[in-house]
Structure formats: C-alpha cells, structure tokens
A and B are shown apart, each in its own frame.
Chain A
C-alpha cells in the first residue's frame, strides 16, 4: 500500500512477495500504527465518533469487496448479514458471554447464514444473483421482527450492553475506538492477504472468466461459497461492533438502502483492492457528514429561506458530488492512489 521509490529492486522471491518490503516501509507502517492507536489520546470525541462509524462500515465493506471486487458476485444483503452478527452478539452478551468471544461467534453465525444465501450462485449470476441475495434483505429482518420476540425483542429490538474488560467499560468514543479500529486493522490485513493466496487467485479467476477458471480445475461453486462466507463473516463482525457501539438494535437499522450504500462504497473506493473499501467508506461517510451540516449552514446564511428547500438541498449536494466523482474517477479512489504511487515510483528519475 505504501509508496515505493526508484532503485528499490526485488532481489529475492520473498522480497517480491512481501507487502512491506524495506525498512522505510516498516518504519512508516509502525509510525502509522502508533499514530492510529494514539489518536484517542489527542482527538476530540466528535472526530473519534466519526472514525468509529467509518471503521464499522469499513469492516462490512471490506467483506463485500471480497465477494464483489475479487469474485465478481453481487450481493444486496450485506446489511441483513450485519443484522445477524448484531443480534447474535447481543443475545450472547445478554446470556453472559463476553463480547470478545461473541464478536468472532457473530462473524461465524453470519458467515453460515451467508453460505445459505450464496447457494443460488451455483445456478445464477449477475442481476439474477443480486435479486436472489435481495431475499436475504427481506427474510432476515422479518425473522428478527417476528420470531422469538422474547429473545430478539421484536420490532422495538434489544438494548445492548457495552463491551467490558475487567473493570473497564467500553462505553465512550475513546474506548470503543480500540476494538473497532483493532478489528479494522485485522480484517484489512486478512483481506489483503486473502488476495495473495490460492483462494484469492481462484476468486479473481472466477471473476475474470468463470468458464476458464472451471477448466483450470477451480471448483466454482466451492469458491463462490467461500466468498459468500467471508463476505457475511465480515458483515457479522461489523454487525457485532455496531450493536455494542450503538447499544440499541432493531431490524429497521439494517435496511436495503444501507446494503446499496455498501455497494456504492465498494465502487467509489475501487473494487478488488483492500485499500478501496477504506477510501470509499471514508469518502462517502465524510460526504454524508458534510451533507448533514450543509442545510443548517445554509440556514445561517439565508435565515429567511424556506425550511423545505434547505432540507432538500443536503441530499441533492450529496447525490451531485457522488455523481461527479463517478464520472471523473470511475475506477475508484484506489486507482487514483495507484497512479500516485506509480508517479512516485519513478522519482527522482521521472524521465
């Protein structure tokens, strides 16, 4: 992910395969991690709150990127898979299981549910598969609304306790930052490395030409199911983090619109790159944040303006900015970053 300078040659296969190739990059990585985990000590709660929300979305989008970006399968059910993780974690913690165990279990349960909705991918693809995964977005919320209201709380949902570690309660932006960003870092490293394994290469082969992949001995169905599992596993982790961050969940929170936005974040960030979800989520979330503040800002400048008009302007600006961005950078922010890296790679010998 980091910049690479002219004259930095690979001399061994191990060096060629490494993600972090030299001391400079190691130093940068360590400095970045120190800065990342040191942030709660210097940043305000408002900024940390925004980063926490972005972090939770990054985990979900990173999973979706494995399915959409690497494997070329479409899913419109990511928010529903998140709800599986959120409810699993909430119920487990209510039952006395510590959050730190509930988090991976939530991922696993969501992954298994994802497998179930991945089954149609054997027979269908493209828009047809999108419609099949859409079913998850209707069936799963229905399940949590109507089945075992004593356990899942029905429509009003559940209150969720914040995570604890000994006497430490993770109930503020500062404290929740650590489990959220920790999960983001681990999930991003795993996503980056999945792409470099046999599994990742098989997924990319299926995306590029499923028939050719099959001929080469890649069992399409098995690999597609793995991609669905991983996608939903990540969503489950994100759901668990969301539940303990928001501390109240109900089926309304995991809507189809949110699933569509996750897809949008993958596209804006750039598909098939571990960096894409980070950039895409950050861009969309910050744009959203700007939109929230845009109408009140205008109302200060034009106090006499009609409230309806001001309220409508926020979403219009949001849509317009997104549209312009996609027109001018259709391959996503990660591609722009690659171009920037390529430019630096030649320095100082630009010729």
Chain B
C-alpha cells in the first residue's frame, strides 16, 4: 500500500516539475491597429443585354462603368507609446573576466544613457528599461543568456565580445534579432546579416593604419629603427579571436600592395606580465613598426617592455581603437608618449563637442567614479542613443504596433550614415555594409589622445 502511495506521490512530483517547467503564460499582446479594409469595388454589371434574334439587334446596352474602388485608406501608424508602454534594451558581455578592464564601465554608461533617455521622454513616450547579464567571457554563459533574452523578443541587443558575436551570428539571423557589437572581427560581421559593428572591423582599421603609415613614413619613422626606407610591421598581439582580428589574408595583401611589409605575428596571452621575447622577435624579424590588436593593458605592456629593453626609439608602436583608453595611459605612464592608434570615435578630450559635453555632464550628475571615466562608459552611453535612433526610425516606418527585431534590422540595413550624439560615434550601415569606415589616427602627446589626421576612410578589407 505504502509503495503505491509513494509511487503516486512521485508521479505527482514529476508532473509538478513538468508544469513548473512549462513556459509562463504570456500576456495577451495588444492587437495591432489593423488598417481598415479598403472598400471593395462593386462588381461591374456583367454582360450586355443580348439582342433578340432575328430582329436586328439594337445596340447592346452598355454595361455601366464599374465603380472605381476607393483608394484604400492608409493606416495611420501609431508613433506614440501608449501609457505605461515600455521598450527594453538588452546588453550582455564579459563584464568580469579578462576583458573586464574595458568592459565593466560599459554597464555604468549604458545605465546612465538609459536614465538620460528616459529623462528626455524615452523612446516616443515609451519608458526604456534595461536587461543585462555578465557572461564572464564564457561562451556557454553567452549562449545561455541569449536563450533567456530571445524569449523576450528583443528589438535589438548590444554585445561586446568578438567570440560571442561570432558564435551567435547564425542564431541571431534565425531569430531575426539585430545586434550592435563592439567585438568587430571580420568573421562576426560578414557576410552581412543581423550583426552591426559599432567601429570599423579590425582588418579595416589595420588597413587604415597602413594607408597612413605608407603616406607618412618619412615623417613618422622611428629615430633608430632598422630598414629606415621601408615600413616593416610586426603584429604583437593576443592569441585570441580578437587579438588576431587585424591580420587577415585581405589586410596582409593590402599592406603588401601599399609597400608595407608584414614580417611577423608574435602572440602573447592576455595578462602576460612580460612581452620582451615577442618584442625581440619582432626586432629580429627586421620590424620597425609594432601594431597590436589588444585592449588597453596589451599596448601598455608592450610599451613598458620596449622601454625596459631600450628599444622604444627603434619602433613606431600603434594599436586598434580599444587600445586607446585612459587605462592604457595610466598603466604605461610615460612610456605611452608617442603611441599611435586608430580612433573611430570622439574622446573625453574633445571637451568642446556638444555630445561629449552632454555625456560628461551625465557622468558627473550620476556621481560616477574616475575609474569609470573610460572609453567603455563613453561608448555605451552613445550606443543607447544609437539604439533609440534606429528604433524611432523603425516606429516612423512601421508604427509602434509592428515594431519587431526584423523591422529594426530592415531600418538598420538601410540607414546609411548616422551621427550619434552629434558624432561621438558615427555608424554607417547599408545593404551589404555592416560596419562604419571612418576613423582618425591619434597620438599620445603629454598624456592625451591628439588627432594627427583628419577623418580618414578605411579600405574595405572584409573577407572575400
């Protein structure tokens, strides 16, 4: 008897577990305002009256002209939010883990950006809310977070890592969810799909650097470098998807075409406390330029070790956009002087710019700590405004009630150039274009990033 009771209890338990696992009942969505059906045209009177035989047929009665159907009334799109309506912006990335130095301030920037946006009335009257997650640099966590978010049918997601962008790109296309990503490897962004890079892809950035290097070599070559007549580049970089993103077959061929030799690719692990071996190997290979595709602590380590080896004046050292951060200046200290980088966005130093002034004001208003005064905060703030712009454009096109990820994607894919917050970042997407192309070369001078060029256009080095 007891066994039967226990058995029944277990079956009930299993059933309860199954019920608990069932998806939560979704609230009944507000039915979209349907366009009024166009008034149907009355059927035209069909055949003419036939003449009786054999009497001469009178002229057949002419059928009356069919009444013209009135033009279908164009549905008026709802472009204002209903009371209490919310729009959620999703973002997730490796906020702890190896990239945390750059990525953690993103949370603050995103949060303050949304607060600022709500203060201005949200997105067409809808309150903006945030969902975020820290995936700690683990791909399993990224996939699991994506599974959780996709159930909520996001209009758009912001990602930060190259690896997660590459892994999720097929799913995003299947689920029709566009993402803006700060992890801009060529493999993640192309072929064109639902992934939009917020800065030029790494190979394009390297191409832009090569253009500048080839054109200005006589002016910028290092004082004591080897092979002074030819810019000879060694890539000294992290052994990761991101780190190896600059040197692709296309960018290498482009460099050769421009007369710039790429003689070595020396790799080191993230957080390596010493890269002297890699620098000496670069020297041995005949390089006079070191280019690194690493976050701020990567170039800082290279710069410090170049100084300690006494070879700083033998190399022009440069990096990608994520190298250009205050934390790099802090870590490398005086060794950072003269470091070059590709910068596709404005920086905190552009103090007279309206967009930067606004972000600076919000940073102070929210009592953020100096450690958060970084490129991460700045860009995340701008990303929020970019999302607003794309969602509002979509609302104008399809109305509030047809607002979906697919619709936002259509808007983005046809958006062209968008200057976010008066140009703090400039995005530029098109049918076959998933990343902007403009950037400036900046140099560290007296602890500040000083532009040494005007805005340049990067060559298109997307994978063939």
Chain A residues with a Cβ under 8 A of chain B:
3, 5, 24, 27-28, 31-32, 35, 38-39, 42-50, 53, 57, 145, 154-157, 159, 171-173, 245-248, 250, 252-253, 288-289, 291-293, 295-296, 299, 303-304, 306-308, 310-312, 314-315, 347-348
- CB atoms of A252 and B240 under 8 A apart: yes
Contact: B14 with A50, CB < 8 Å? no
Q: How far is the CA of A292 from the CA of B135 in the complex (A)?
A: 6
Cβ of A292 and Cβ of B144 under 8 Å apart?
yes
Asked if A314 meets B134 with Cβ closer than 8 Å, knowing A24-B7, A53-B140, A155-B244, the reply is: yes
Given A24-B7, A32-B14, A306-B369; A248-B170 close (CB under 8 Å):
yes
A312 and B96 in contact, given A42-B21, A296-B133 (Cβ under 8 angstroms): yes
Looking at the complex, which one of A28, A49, A295, A307 makes contact with B144 (CB distance below 8 Å)?
Answer: A49
Assess whether B134 is in contact with A295, with CB atoms less than 8 Å apart.
yes
B 134-159 to A, binary, CB cutoff 8 A, 1 in contact else 0: 11101111011101101100000000
Using Cβ atoms and an 8 Å threshold, which residues of chain B touch A246? 139, 143, 167
Q: Does B39 touch A at the CB level, under 8 Å?
A: no
Please, which residues of chain A bring their CB within 8 A of the CB of B372? Answer: 306-308
9 contacts between A and B (CB under 8 A): A5-B2, A5-B6, A35-B17, A39-B21, A156-B241, A248-B170, A252-B163, A292-B141, A307-B107
| Residues of chain A within 8 A of B135, CB atoms compared | 292
Other A-B pairs beyond A173-B147, A296-B132, A308-B105, 6, CB < 8 Å:
A5-B2, A44-B21, A48-B147, A307-B108, A307-B111, A310-B107
9 closest residue pairs by CB, A with B: A49-B147, A44-B23, A307-B107, A43-B21, A307-B108, A248-B167, A155-B244, A311-B95, A156-B187
Is A50 a contact partner of B144 (Cβ separation < 8 A)? yes
Interface class of chain B by DSSP: helix
Do A308 and B371 have beta carbons less than 8 Å apart? yes
A252 to B245, CA, bound (A): 14
- The reply to whether A43 and B23 form a contact with Cβ atoms under 8 Å apart is yes
Considering only CB atoms, which chain A residue lies closest to B92 in the complex?
A292
Q: Which of B100, B105, B167, B240 has the most chain A CB atoms inside 10 A of its CB?
A: B167
Q: Could you tell me if B144 and A35 are in contact, using CB atoms closer than 8 angstroms?
A: no
Distance to closest chain B CB from A211 (angstroms): 41
Closest partner residue, chain A, to B10 (CB atom): A28
Contact of B140 with A252 in the complex, beta carbons under 8 Å: no
B140 partner residues in chain A, CB cutoff 8 A: 53, 57, 288
How many angstroms between the C-alpha atoms of A326 and B244 in the bound complex? 40
Chain B residue contacts of A247, Cβ below 8 A: 167, 170-171
Tell whether, in the assembled complex, residue A311 and residue B18 are in contact, meaning their CB atoms are under 8 Å apart.
no
Report yes or no: A159 in contact with B170, Cβ–Cβ below 8 A. yes
- Per a CB cutoff under 8 Å, which of A44, A292, A306, A347 touches B133? A292
Q: Which residues of B contact A154 (CB under 8 A)?
A: 244
Smallest CB separation, B43 vs chain A (Å): 43
Find out whether the CB atom of B147 lies under 8 angstroms from the CB atom of A311.
Answer: no
Dominant SS among interface residues on chain A? helix
B166 at the interface (CB under 8 A from A): yes
Q: Which chain A positions have C-beta within 8 A of B23?
A: 42-44
Residue of A nearest to B249 (CB): A149
CB under 8 Å from chain A, chain B span 352-407: 366-367, 369, 371-372
Q: Is the CB of B2 within 8 A of A347?
A: yes
Q: How far is the CA of A307 from the CA of B374 in the complex (A)?
A: 13
Residues of A within 8 A of B65 (CB): none
Determine whether the beta carbon of A296 is less than 8 Å from that of B131.
yes
Task: Tell me the bound Cα distance from A311 to B167 in angstroms.
Answer: 23
The answer to whether B409 has its CB under 8 Å from any CB of chain A is: no
| B452, CB-defined interface residue at 8 Å | no
* B85 within 8 Å of A (CB atoms): no
Q: What residues of chain A lie closer than 8 Å to B10, measured between beta carbons?
A: 28, 31
A315 contacts B174, C-beta separation under 8 Å? no
Kindly state the separation between the CA atoms of A43 and B19 in the bound complex, as whole angstroms. Answer: 8
Bound state CA distance, A35 and B106, in angstroms?
42
Minimal beta-carbon separation of B170 from chain A (angstroms)? 5
Q: Using Cβ atoms and an 8 Å threshold, which residues of chain B touch A253?
A: 139, 163
User: Is the CB–CB distance between A45 and B139 below 8 Å?
Assistant: no
| Closest Cβ–Cβ distance, residue A287 to chain B (whole Å) | 12
User: Is B104 positioned at the interface, with any CB of A under 8 Å from its CB?
Assistant: yes
User: Which residues of the other chain, B, contact A171 by a CB distance below 8 angstroms?
Assistant: 174
Asked if A155 and B18 sit within 8 Å, CB to CB, the answer is: no
Q: Are A53 and B143 in contact (CB under 8 A)?
A: yes
Chain B contacts of A27 at CB under 8 A? 7
Q: Do the beta carbons of B167 and A155 come within 8 Å of each other?
A: no
Question: Shortest beta-carbon distance, A328 to chain B, in Å?
Answer: 25
Mask of B232-270 contacts with A, CB within 8 angstroms, 1/0 = 000000011100100000000000000000000000000
Q: Looking across the interface, which residue of chain A has its beta carbon closest to that of B186? A: A156
Interface positions of B from 1 to 56, Cβ below 8 Å from A: 2-3, 6-7, 10-11, 14, 17-19, 21-24
For the complex, what is the distance from the CA of A253 to the CA of B139, rounded to whole Å?
A: 7
Q: How far is the CA of A44 from the CA of B148 in the complex (A)?
A: 9
Give the complex CA separation of A32 and B171 in angstroms. Answer: 31
Taking the closest CB of chain B, its distance from the CB of A80, in whole angstroms, is: 15
Q: Which residues of B contact A172 (CB under 8 A)?
A: 174
Q: Is B411 an interface residue (CB 8 A)?
A: no
Within the assembled complex, what's the spacing in Å between the Cα atoms of A32 and B17?
11
B292 at the interface (CB under 8 A from A): no
Is B185 interfacial (CB 8 A cutoff)? Answer: yes
Residue ID in chain B nearest A292 by CB atoms: B133
Q: Please, how many angstroms separate the alpha-carbon atoms of A154 and B240 in the complex?
A: 11
Q: Which of B82-127 contact A (CB under 8 A)?
A: 95-96, 100, 104-108, 111
Nearest neighbor of A310 in chain B, beta-carbon distance: B107
In the complex, how many angstroms separate the beta carbon of B266 from the nearest chain A beta carbon?
A: 13
Q: In the complex, A157 Cα to B439 Cα: how many Å? A: 28
Closest Cβ neighbor of A295 among chain B residues = B134
Name the A residues within 8 Å of B24 (CB-CB): 44
- Given A155-B240, A159-B170, A314-B96: A44 in contact with B369 (beta carbons within 8 A): no
A42 and B185 form a contact (CB under 8 A): no
A254 to chain B, nearest CB (A): 10
Residues of B within 8 A of A303 (CB): 111
B163 to A, closest residue via Cβ: A252
Question: Does A293 contact B133, Cβ atoms closer than 8 Å?
Answer: yes
B173 CB, min distance to chain A CBs, angstroms: 11
